[in-house]
Amino acid sequence: MKKIIFNKKDYKNYQDMYKDMAIKTGANKIEDYFDTSNYEYDPNILWECLECDFGFTKNSINIVLLNFDKEKIKLQKTYDDYEYNLVLEIFEEFVEKYPNNKLEFRMDEDKK
């Protein structure tokens, strides 16, 4: 199982996260009708790529979301939180539909 870690401290905004997701999942190397280097900042395109690359195949991923305060993000007090929440919902729905994949939320102090 491939482990992919996304650390919120590495991003200035949700757009940085989309770019990092595209690199870490390998979507940026796919030539398609949309811009796979950033999923066009669209959660639907993120879903499509996850489903094609990890849902329909035997390739499994462990998505680790480091320093994402899920409860705070779900309040959506900023536009970035709104966008981050959409990504979190995609990841949650993805692992629910494809249980061979895993999603973990961790904070820095949880690392040991």
pTM over the 0.95 mark: no
Q: How does residue 110 score in pLDDT terms, banded at 50, 70 and 90?
A: low
> Average per-residue pLDDT in the chain?
89
The Cα–Cα gap between 1 and 103 comes to: 12
Distances in Å between the Cα of 23 and the Cα atoms of 43, 58, 76 are 16, 20, 26
Q: How does residue 74 score in pLDDT terms, banded at 50, 70 and 90?
A: very high
pLDDT of 35 above 50: yes
